[in-house]
């Protein structure tokens, strides 16, 4: 199993355990028996940025807890094939805080759940 390349961007005012995020990505890849070299980017942003993305890409003028953007959708770019670039996961930190309180979870636990959920989408598994 190759170690995935996880690019993490976190807006400076938010505290995110990067090791846990990487472990969540690794967990999904192992669960799904993904053998190839993988790259994924994960951004943790505020509600304003999330709302703008949700409006632009889903035509919904509200925030969301998570958005995933598989590279397999939309315009294709030719990139070196040594790594499979899955796409991007964007998580709203303020939504994570709200949901953590509602669900009585630690913030890190909720981020783990959302990263794993986003990874499943990037791997092509969707829910109804």
Judged against a pLDDT cut of 70, whether residue 83 lies above it is answered with yes
Judged against a pLDDT cut of 80, whether residue 101 lies above it is answered with yes
Instruction: Measure the CA angle with vertex 32, ends 120 and 44; round to 5°.
Output: 35
Helices marked H in 4-73 — which ranges? 18-31, 47-58
Taking the C-alpha atoms of residue 60 and residue 45, their distance in angstroms, rounded to an integer, is 17
Element (H, E) at 115: helix 107-122
> How far is residue 40 CA from its own chain's centroid?
8
Share of the chain above pLDDT 90, in %: 77
This prediction's pTM: 0.89
Q: Across residues 40-47, what is the average pLDDT? A: 96
Judged against a pLDDT cut of 70, whether residue 80 lies above it is answered with no
Two tokens, residue 119? 């990874």
Q: For the domain 5-122, what is the CATH superfamily, name and number?
A: Metalloproteases ("zincins"), catalytic domain (3.40.390.30)
Distance from first CA to last CA of the chain, Å, rounded?
A: 30
């Amino acid at each position: 199993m190759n170690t995935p390349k996880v690019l993490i961007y976190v807006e400076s005012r938010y505290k995110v355990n990067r090791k846990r995020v990487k472990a969540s990505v690794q967990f999904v890849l192992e669960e799904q028996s993904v053998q190839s070299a993988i790259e994924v980017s994960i951004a943790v942003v505020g509600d304003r940025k999330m709302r703008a993305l949700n409006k632009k890409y889903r035509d919904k003028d509200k925030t969301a807890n998570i958005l995933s953007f598989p590279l397999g959708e939309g315009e294709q770019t030719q990139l070196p094939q040594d790594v499979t670039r899955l796409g991007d996961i964007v998580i709203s930190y303020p939504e994570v805080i709200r949901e953590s309180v509602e669900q009585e979870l630690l913030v890190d636990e909720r981020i783990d759940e959302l990263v794993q959920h986003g990874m499943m989408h990037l791997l092509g598994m969707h829910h109804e």
